[in-house]
Protein backbone atom coordinates (compact mmCIF):
# COMPACT_ATOMS: atom_id res chain seq x y z
CA UNK A 1 0.00 0.00 0.00
CA UNK A 2 2.63 2.47 -1.12
CA UNK A 3 0.30 5.43 -1.55
CA UNK A 4 -0.80 5.33 2.08
CA UNK A 5 2.76 4.73 3.23
CA UNK A 6 3.81 7.90 1.43
CA UNK A 7 0.88 9.71 2.97
CA UNK A 8 2.00 8.61 6.43
CA UNK A 9 5.61 9.68 5.87
CA UNK A 10 4.64 13.07 4.48
CA UNK A 11 2.07 13.73 7.20
CA UNK A 12 4.44 12.69 9.99
CA UNK A 13 7.01 15.16 8.67
CA UNK A 14 4.39 17.90 8.40
CA UNK A 15 3.14 17.33 11.95
CA UNK A 16 6.70 17.46 13.37
CA UNK A 17 7.41 20.66 11.51
CA UNK A 18 4.20 22.37 12.55
CA UNK A 19 4.11 21.23 16.19
CA UNK A 20 7.77 21.77 17.00
CA UNK A 21 8.13 21.20 20.73
CA UNK A 22 4.58 22.20 21.63
CA UNK A 23 1.92 19.90 23.11
CA UNK A 24 -1.05 18.39 21.33
CA UNK A 25 -4.35 17.35 22.89
CA UNK A 26 -6.68 14.82 21.27
CA UNK A 27 -10.16 13.72 22.32
CA UNK A 28 -10.15 9.99 21.79
CA UNK A 29 -13.56 8.37 21.32
CA UNK A 30 -12.52 4.81 20.55
CA UNK A 31 -13.85 5.22 17.01
CA UNK A 32 -11.83 4.68 13.85
CA UNK A 33 -11.08 8.34 13.02
CA UNK A 34 -9.81 9.57 16.38
CA UNK A 35 -7.91 6.29 16.90
CA UNK A 36 -6.06 6.57 13.60
CA UNK A 37 -5.38 10.26 14.21
CA UNK A 38 -3.92 9.38 17.63
CA UNK A 39 -1.65 6.66 16.23
CA UNK A 40 -0.45 8.91 13.42
CA UNK A 41 0.27 11.92 15.63
CA UNK A 42 1.95 9.70 18.20
CA UNK A 43 4.23 8.35 15.48
CA UNK A 44 5.18 11.95 14.69
CA UNK A 45 5.64 13.51 18.12
CA UNK A 46 5.46 10.73 20.75
CA UNK A 47 5.01 12.06 24.28
CA UNK A 48 4.05 15.54 23.15
CA UNK A 49 0.63 14.05 22.42
CA UNK A 50 -1.90 13.52 25.20
CA UNK A 51 -5.18 11.75 24.51
CA UNK A 52 -8.22 12.29 26.69
CA UNK A 53 -10.91 9.63 26.71
CA UNK A 54 -14.12 10.58 28.52
CA UNK A 55 -16.11 7.55 29.62
CA UNK A 56 -19.67 8.81 30.06
CA UNK A 57 -20.80 5.41 31.28
CA UNK A 58 -22.81 4.63 28.15
CA UNK A 59 -20.07 3.08 26.06
CA UNK A 60 -20.15 -0.43 24.67
CA UNK A 61 -19.17 -3.33 26.92
CA UNK A 62 -15.51 -3.10 28.07
CA UNK A 63 -14.85 -0.15 25.77
CA UNK A 64 -12.74 1.91 28.16
CA UNK A 65 -10.59 -1.12 28.98
CA UNK A 66 -10.03 -1.80 25.27
CA UNK A 67 -9.03 1.78 24.60
CA UNK A 68 -6.64 1.71 27.56
CA UNK A 69 -5.12 -1.57 26.44
CA UNK A 70 -4.58 -0.46 22.88
CA UNK A 71 -3.37 3.07 23.37
CA UNK A 72 -1.67 3.07 26.75
CA UNK A 73 -0.39 -0.49 27.08
CA UNK A 74 0.37 -1.34 23.48
CA UNK A 75 1.28 1.98 21.89
CA UNK A 76 2.61 3.68 25.02
CA UNK A 77 0.51 6.74 24.27
CA UNK A 78 -0.04 9.20 27.12
CA UNK A 79 -3.73 8.60 27.79
CA UNK A 80 -6.00 10.17 30.36
CA UNK A 81 -9.09 7.98 30.69
CA UNK A 82 -11.71 9.59 32.88
CA UNK A 83 -14.59 7.68 34.39
CA UNK A 84 -17.22 10.42 34.48
CA UNK A 85 -20.19 8.07 34.56
CA UNK A 86 -21.48 9.28 37.95
CA UNK A 87 -21.73 12.83 36.72
CA UNK A 88 -23.37 11.93 33.40
CA UNK A 89 -25.83 9.42 34.85
CA UNK A 90 -26.72 11.80 37.65
CA UNK A 91 -27.64 14.51 35.16
CA UNK A 92 -29.56 12.06 33.00
CA UNK A 93 -31.60 10.71 35.89
CA UNK A 94 -35.23 10.32 34.78
CA UNK A 95 -34.61 12.24 31.54
CA UNK A 96 -36.66 10.63 28.77
CA UNK A 97 -36.57 13.04 25.85
CA UNK A 98 -33.95 12.09 23.21
CA UNK A 99 -32.94 15.66 22.40
CA UNK A 100 -32.60 16.56 26.07
CA UNK A 101 -30.41 13.51 26.59
CA UNK A 102 -28.18 14.58 23.69
CA UNK A 103 -27.91 18.14 24.98
CA UNK A 104 -27.06 17.08 28.52
CA UNK A 105 -24.45 14.64 27.29
CA UNK A 106 -22.94 17.12 24.82
CA UNK A 107 -22.66 19.84 27.41
CA UNK A 108 -21.30 17.58 30.12
CA UNK A 109 -18.80 16.07 27.70
CA UNK A 110 -17.30 19.46 26.92
CA UNK A 111 -17.22 20.36 30.60
CA UNK A 112 -15.35 17.18 31.57
CA UNK A 113 -13.02 17.41 28.59
CA UNK A 114 -12.12 20.99 29.42
CA UNK A 115 -11.54 20.35 33.09
CA UNK A 116 -9.31 17.35 32.33
CA UNK A 117 -7.35 19.33 29.74
CA UNK A 118 -6.79 22.13 32.21
CA UNK A 119 -4.73 19.72 34.31
CA UNK A 120 -2.29 19.09 31.43
CA UNK A 121 0.69 21.11 30.23
CA UNK A 122 -1.01 23.82 28.12
CA UNK A 123 -1.46 22.33 24.65
CA UNK A 124 -1.12 24.62 21.66
CA UNK A 125 -2.94 22.23 19.33
CA UNK A 126 -6.24 20.40 19.45
CA UNK A 127 -6.14 17.32 17.22
CA UNK A 128 -9.24 15.92 15.54
CA UNK A 129 -9.95 12.97 13.30
CA UNK A 130 -11.78 15.07 10.71
CA UNK A 131 -12.07 13.31 7.33
CA UNK A 132 -12.51 14.72 3.85
CA UNK A 133 -16.27 14.02 3.77
CA UNK A 134 -16.62 15.93 7.08
CA UNK A 135 -14.82 18.89 5.54
CA UNK A 136 -17.16 18.82 2.52
CA UNK A 137 -20.22 18.39 4.68
CA UNK A 138 -19.50 21.43 6.81
CA UNK A 139 -18.69 23.51 3.73
CA UNK A 140 -21.86 22.62 1.83
CA UNK A 141 -25.40 23.23 3.08
CA UNK A 142 -26.58 20.04 4.75
CA UNK A 143 -29.82 18.33 3.85
CA UNK A 144 -32.87 18.05 6.09
CA UNK A 145 -31.80 14.63 7.40
CA UNK A 146 -28.90 16.27 9.20
CA UNK A 147 -31.06 18.62 11.18
CA UNK A 148 -33.51 16.03 12.44
CA UNK A 149 -31.24 15.09 15.32
CA UNK A 150 -28.76 17.37 17.02
CA UNK A 151 -25.44 15.62 16.67
CA UNK A 152 -23.02 15.34 19.47
CA UNK A 153 -19.61 14.11 18.46
CA UNK A 154 -16.12 14.42 19.89
CA UNK A 155 -15.33 16.38 16.75
CA UNK A 156 -17.60 19.23 17.83
CA UNK A 157 -15.27 20.42 20.55
CA UNK A 158 -14.78 23.82 22.10
CA UNK A 159 -13.94 26.76 19.88
CA UNK A 160 -13.34 28.68 23.06
CA UNK A 161 -10.49 26.40 24.08
CA UNK A 162 -8.23 28.61 22.09
CA UNK A 163 -6.06 26.03 20.40
CA UNK A 164 -5.01 25.57 16.82
CA UNK A 165 -6.65 22.65 15.05
CA UNK A 166 -4.52 19.74 13.90
CA UNK A 167 -6.42 17.54 11.46
CA UNK A 168 -4.03 15.08 9.82
CA UNK A 169 -6.79 13.02 8.15
CA UNK A 170 -8.68 15.83 6.46
CA UNK A 171 -7.66 14.76 2.97
CA UNK A 172 -8.71 11.15 3.41
CA UNK A 173 -11.81 9.06 2.84
CA UNK A 174 -12.90 6.43 5.34
CA UNK A 175 -11.39 3.47 3.47
CA UNK A 176 -8.07 5.33 3.26
CA UNK A 177 -8.17 6.06 6.97
CA UNK A 178 -8.68 2.35 7.59
CA UNK A 179 -5.64 1.55 5.44
CA UNK A 180 -3.56 4.08 7.35
CA UNK A 181 -4.76 2.51 10.61
CA UNK A 182 -3.67 -0.95 9.48
CA UNK A 183 -0.25 0.31 8.41
CA UNK A 184 0.11 1.87 11.85
CA UNK A 185 -0.68 -1.53 13.43
CA UNK A 186 -3.98 -0.63 15.01
CA UNK A 187 -5.94 -3.80 15.83
CA UNK A 188 -8.23 -4.95 13.03
CA UNK A 189 -11.34 -4.80 15.25
CA UNK A 190 -10.67 -1.13 15.83
CA UNK A 191 -9.93 -0.32 12.21
CA UNK A 192 -13.10 -2.01 10.93
CA UNK A 193 -15.37 -0.78 13.67
CA UNK A 194 -18.88 0.44 12.85
CA UNK A 195 -19.67 4.05 13.75
CA UNK A 196 -20.95 4.64 17.27
CA UNK A 197 -22.92 7.77 18.21
CA UNK A 198 -21.37 10.27 20.62
CA UNK A 199 -24.20 9.89 23.17
CA UNK A 200 -23.66 6.14 23.00
CA UNK A 201 -26.14 3.76 24.56
CA UNK A 202 -28.12 6.73 25.90
CA UNK A 203 -29.94 6.91 22.56
CA UNK A 204 -30.32 3.13 22.40
CA UNK A 205 -32.04 2.78 25.76
CA UNK A 206 -35.40 4.30 24.96
CA UNK A 207 -36.60 6.58 27.71
CA UNK A 208 -34.86 6.99 31.05
CA UNK A 209 -31.44 5.45 31.66
CA UNK A 210 -29.95 3.76 34.69
CA UNK A 211 -26.97 1.52 35.43
CA UNK A 212 -29.02 -1.65 35.21
CA UNK A 213 -30.46 -0.87 31.77
CA UNK A 214 -26.97 0.01 30.55
CA UNK A 215 -25.65 -3.33 31.79
CA UNK A 216 -28.49 -5.23 30.11
CA UNK A 217 -27.99 -3.48 26.78
CA UNK A 218 -24.20 -3.83 26.87
CA UNK A 219 -24.55 -7.60 27.31
CA UNK A 220 -27.10 -7.99 24.51
CA UNK A 221 -25.16 -5.74 22.13
CA UNK A 222 -21.89 -7.57 22.81
CA UNK A 223 -23.52 -10.92 21.95
CA UNK A 224 -24.92 -9.56 18.68
CA UNK A 225 -21.60 -8.00 17.63
CA UNK A 226 -19.56 -11.03 18.69
CA UNK A 227 -21.83 -13.31 16.69
CA UNK A 228 -21.51 -11.10 13.61
CA UNK A 229 -17.73 -11.46 13.90
CA UNK A 230 -17.93 -15.22 14.50
CA UNK A 231 -20.05 -15.76 11.40
CA UNK A 232 -17.94 -13.44 9.25
CA UNK A 233 -20.84 -11.04 8.74
CA UNK A 234 -19.55 -7.97 10.59
CA UNK A 235 -17.96 -6.32 7.56
CA UNK A 236 -21.04 -6.95 5.39
CA UNK A 237 -23.03 -4.62 7.62
CA UNK A 238 -22.52 -0.84 7.82
CA UNK A 239 -23.79 -0.53 11.37
CA UNK A 240 -25.32 -3.02 13.78
CA UNK A 241 -26.45 -2.73 17.36
CA UNK A 242 -29.05 -3.67 19.94
CA UNK A 243 -31.71 -1.34 21.34
CA UNK A 244 -33.43 -1.74 24.71
CA UNK A 245 -37.14 -1.02 24.64
CA UNK A 246 -39.03 0.35 27.66
CA UNK A 247 -41.59 -2.40 27.21
CA UNK A 248 -42.00 -5.65 29.07
CA UNK A 249 -43.56 -8.77 27.68
CA UNK A 250 -44.49 -12.16 29.08
CA UNK A 251 -42.40 -15.25 28.43
CA UNK A 252 -41.65 -18.68 29.83
CA UNK A 253 -38.35 -19.93 31.15
CA UNK A 254 -38.16 -23.48 32.51
CA UNK A 255 -41.50 -23.86 34.21
CA UNK A 256 -41.82 -20.27 35.28
CA UNK A 257 -43.39 -17.18 33.81
CA UNK A 258 -41.12 -14.26 33.00
CA UNK A 259 -42.02 -10.61 32.57
CA UNK A 260 -39.02 -8.83 31.17
CA UNK A 261 -37.80 -6.29 28.63
CA UNK A 262 -37.76 -6.47 24.84
CA UNK A 263 -34.56 -6.01 22.85
CA UNK A 264 -34.55 -4.90 19.20
CA UNK A 265 -31.70 -5.72 16.84
CA UNK A 266 -30.81 -3.20 14.14
CA UNK A 267 -28.51 -3.84 11.18
CA UNK A 268 -28.24 -1.47 8.21
CA UNK A 269 -26.46 -1.30 4.87
CA UNK A 270 -25.57 2.16 3.60
CA UNK A 271 -22.86 4.18 1.90
CA UNK A 272 -23.43 7.55 3.46
CA UNK A 273 -25.73 6.99 6.48
CA UNK A 274 -28.15 9.55 5.02
CA UNK A 275 -30.28 6.76 3.60
CA UNK A 276 -30.02 3.11 4.59
CA UNK A 277 -31.64 -0.24 4.02
CA UNK A 278 -32.07 -2.86 6.71
CA UNK A 279 -29.64 -5.71 6.19
CA UNK A 280 -31.08 -9.08 5.22
CA UNK A 281 -29.26 -11.07 7.88
CA UNK A 282 -29.81 -14.83 7.57
CA UNK A 283 -32.72 -16.22 9.60
CA UNK A 284 -30.50 -18.87 11.19
CA UNK A 285 -28.08 -16.21 12.32
CA UNK A 286 -30.92 -14.18 13.86
CA UNK A 287 -32.25 -17.30 15.57
CA UNK A 288 -28.86 -18.00 17.16
CA UNK A 289 -28.42 -14.42 18.37
CA UNK A 290 -31.95 -14.32 19.73
CA UNK A 291 -31.60 -17.51 21.71
CA UNK A 292 -28.21 -16.49 23.07
CA UNK A 293 -29.53 -13.11 24.22
CA UNK A 294 -32.63 -14.53 25.91
CA UNK A 295 -30.61 -17.29 27.59
CA UNK A 296 -27.61 -15.24 28.63
CA UNK A 297 -28.92 -11.78 29.42
CA UNK A 298 -30.93 -11.51 32.58
CA UNK A 299 -33.62 -8.87 32.02
CA UNK A 300 -34.46 -9.63 28.37
CA UNK A 301 -36.97 -12.33 27.40
CA UNK A 302 -37.85 -11.32 23.84
CA UNK A 303 -35.86 -10.23 20.78
CA UNK A 304 -37.24 -8.52 17.67
CA UNK A 305 -35.53 -7.48 14.42
CA UNK A 306 -36.02 -4.00 12.93
CA UNK A 307 -37.09 -4.15 9.25
CA UNK A 308 -37.43 -0.40 8.66
CA UNK A 309 -35.33 1.43 6.09
CA UNK A 310 -34.15 5.05 6.29
CA UNK A 311 -36.17 7.01 5.37
CA UNK A 312 -38.78 6.81 6.79
CA UNK A 313 -36.99 5.38 9.84
CA UNK A 314 -33.71 6.69 11.18
CA UNK A 315 -30.82 4.37 11.91
CA UNK A 316 -30.88 5.00 15.65
CA UNK A 317 -34.19 4.64 17.47
CA UNK A 318 -33.88 8.00 19.21
Annotated binding site for ATP: 29-35
Question: Cα angle vertex 280, ends 275, 285, to 5°?
Answer: 135
**Cβ closer to ligand XMP: 18 or 151?**
151
* Angle between the N-to-C axes of helices 2-19 and 32-45, in degrees from 0 to 180, rounded to the nearest 10: 60
Binding mask 87-126 for ligand XMP (x = CB under 6 A): ---------------x------------------------
- Residues 113 and 84: beta-carbon distance below 8 Å: no
Q: Considering only residues 19, 198, 219, 227, which one is a binding residue for ligand XMP as defined by CB under 6 A?
A: 198
Rounded to a whole number of angstroms, the minimum distance from the CB of residue 113 to ligand XMP is 15
Residue 283: C-alpha distances to residues 280, 286, 287, 290, 305 (Å): 9, 5, 6, 10, 10
**Cβ closer to ligand XMP: 258 or 308?**
308
What 227-234 contacts at long range (C-beta under 8 Å, 24+ apart), as own/partner pairs, is: 227/285, 227/288, 227/289, 227/292, 229/189, 231/285, 233/281, 233/285, 234/192, 234/194
Q: Is 239 in the site for ligand XMP (CB under 6 A)?
A: yes
Binding mask 166-195 for ligand XMP (x = CB under 6 A): -----------------------------x
Q: Is 197 in the site for ligand XMP (CB under 6 A)?
A: yes
Rounded to a whole number of angstroms, the minimum distance from the CB of residue 271 to ligand XMP is 12
- Residues 41 and 185: beta-carbon distance below 8 Å: no
Separation CA 134–CA 170 (nearest Å)? 8
Rounded to a whole number of angstroms, the minimum distance from the CB of residue 34 to ligand XMP is 11
Stretch that binds ligand XMP, among 18-26, 159-167, 217-225, 308-316 (CB under 6 A): 308-316
Size, binding site for ligand XMP by CB under 6 A: 15
**Cβ closer to ligand XMP: 33 or 176?**
33
Binding interface with ligand XMP (CB under 6 A): 102, 149, 151-153, 195, 197-199, 239, 273, 310, 314-316
Amino acid sequence: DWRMEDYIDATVAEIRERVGDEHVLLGLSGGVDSSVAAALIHKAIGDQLTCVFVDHGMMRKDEREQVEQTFRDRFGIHLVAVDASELFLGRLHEVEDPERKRKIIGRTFIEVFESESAKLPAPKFLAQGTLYPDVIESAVAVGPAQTIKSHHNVGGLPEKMNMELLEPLRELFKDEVRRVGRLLDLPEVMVERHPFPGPGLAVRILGAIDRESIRILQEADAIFIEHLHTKGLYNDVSQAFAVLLPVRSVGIMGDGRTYEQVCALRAVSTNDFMTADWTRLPYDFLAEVSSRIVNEVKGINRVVFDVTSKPPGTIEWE
